[in-house]
Amino acid sequence: MSAPSRAGSDVEPGNNAAIAGRFGPYGGRYVPEALVAALDELADAYASAKADPAFREALWALQRDYSGRPTPITEARRLSEHAGGARILLKREDLNHTGSHKINNVLGQSLLTQRIGKSRVIAETGAGQHGVATATAAALMGLSCTVYMGEEDTRRQALNVARMRLLGAEVIPVTTGSRTLKDAINEAFRDWVTNVETTNYVFGTVAGPHPFPTMVRDFQRVIGDEAREQVLDRFGRLPDAVVACVGGGSNAIGIFTAFLGDDDVRLLGLEAGGDGVETGRHAATLTSGLPGVLHGARSYLLQDENGQTIESHSISAGLDYPGVGPEHAYLRDIGRASYVPVTDAEAMKAFELLSRTEGIIPAIESAHALAGALVLGRELGPDALILVNLSGRGDKDVATASEYFDLAGQTEAERDLAAQAPEEQ
């Protein structure tokens, strides 16, 4: 199969300003002088590579032959019974090599690292999936690799720490701040400033200074380009809604972009509501944040009355971040996409429900999207098509889920299933 077409992508809100790294008032580049030359070099290399047919073909060959693209669409028929009759379609990014959408971006950035002649890559990671993908690509391409990961995340994602080290990466636990993703990004930037001559920072999401938001979006948009073509081919029409979880936002932008020009397709991002937005323990940046600057770009942030970034919370390490990509901020402001929080409890219920109805264990991050899709399905009604980006698999989360459900006893999802299918008990 050839690379997917990019139908429906001509209308990209804010993209006319993306050359300067701007999405309306968001984005930009707010960095120390020591990084300006490296970011300029990266932006120039990306612009050159994007226009080079040989680079595009090399990337597609890796996506096809190494990471396993195209990923399929699975209709979740039994799960759909819990969504008011709406048809839930899963874009199976969990079936990529390394188990998530992260490999899409990492293969592109690692090829760029080779193109600019650097021998070392660094990365931040929260859930560990971006770190695993970066370590994987580094092993494939013969690059030295260092991954920064918050100490709290190394505890709850121990399996991925072991995977990264097995792949040859150095994993450095970060003990400052909240010891989560925000702090890992801080340390990675410090490393890059010190080692910029030999090192390329493989940034994991559509946040950060220009060119990262644009570049990561472009490497991730293969998700939506494929899905749009697949849904049209199989169902003869576009989905009524496209749903994805949002932390930094790369998987969501990756699937949203192909549908931005389709005004009848609703775009819904699900943020980490943690213990509930009203408690203050959450990561629902677009729901309750304010504009500010974090990690080199202007976007919505969780901040206090003095403008200081505050700690986020989520049961999901990959969504536990107090910022969000600037293009999501822009899409929110213009009303093209909407963003809603999902609590830890709601996400874990959806996590178990997909596991028990479809035999697919999702990442907890992806379970936030599933929870939102179930609610949306009841709103849209029977025969609506809801496309969900299943951004990753849940192997890494089995320990967290086991602890959660053991503490809770019999879960609400389990009780619901027992009540609905007593003959199977």
Question: Which phi and psi angles does 372 have, rounded to 5°?
Answer: -65, -40
Question: Which phi and psi angles does 50 have, rounded to 5°?
Answer: -60, -30
Peptide bond into 382 cis (omega under 30): no
What are the structure tokens assigned to 269, written together?
């991002």
Cα–Cα separations (whole angstroms), residue 68 to 97, 183, 414: 7, 32, 34
**Which residues are annotated as catalytic?**
102, 124, 391
Q: Quote the CA–CA distance of 404 and 409 in Å, as a whole number.
A: 9
**Which pLDDT tens digit goes with each residue over 27-72?**
999 999 999 999 999 999 999 999 999 999 999 999 999 999 999 9
Taking residues 163-191, report their average pLDDT: 95
Q: Same CATH topology for 24-54+102-217 and 73-98+221-424?
A: yes
Q: Quote the CA–CA distance of 105 and 130 in Å, as a whole number.
A: 9
Q: Assess contact for 391 and 366: CB atoms under 8 A.
A: yes
Q: Quote the CA–CA distance of 161 and 205 in Å, as a whole number.
A: 19
Taking residues 179-192, report their average pLDDT: 94
CATH of domain 24-54+102-217: 3.40.50.1100
The DSSP secondary structure of 243-293, one letter per residue, reads EEE-SS-HHHHHHHGGGTT-TTSEEEEEEEEET-GGGT-SB-HHHH-EEEE
pLDDT above 90 for 411: no
**Which pLDDT tens digit goes with each residue over 275-326?**
999 999 999 999 999 999 999 999 999 999 999 999 999 999 899 999 999 9
**Which pLDDT tens digit goes with each residue over 186-207?**
999 999 999 999 999 999 999 9
Domain locations in the chain as residue ranges = 24-54+102-217, 73-98+221-424
Could you tell me the pLDDT band of residue 127, with boundaries at 50, 70 and 90? confident
CATH T-level fold of 73-98+221-424: Rossmann fold (3.40.50)
Q: Quote the CA–CA distance of 259 and 240 in Å, as a whole number.
A: 11
Taking residues 100-127, report their average pLDDT: 97
Percent of the chain with pLDDT over 90: 88
pLDDT above 80 for 20: no
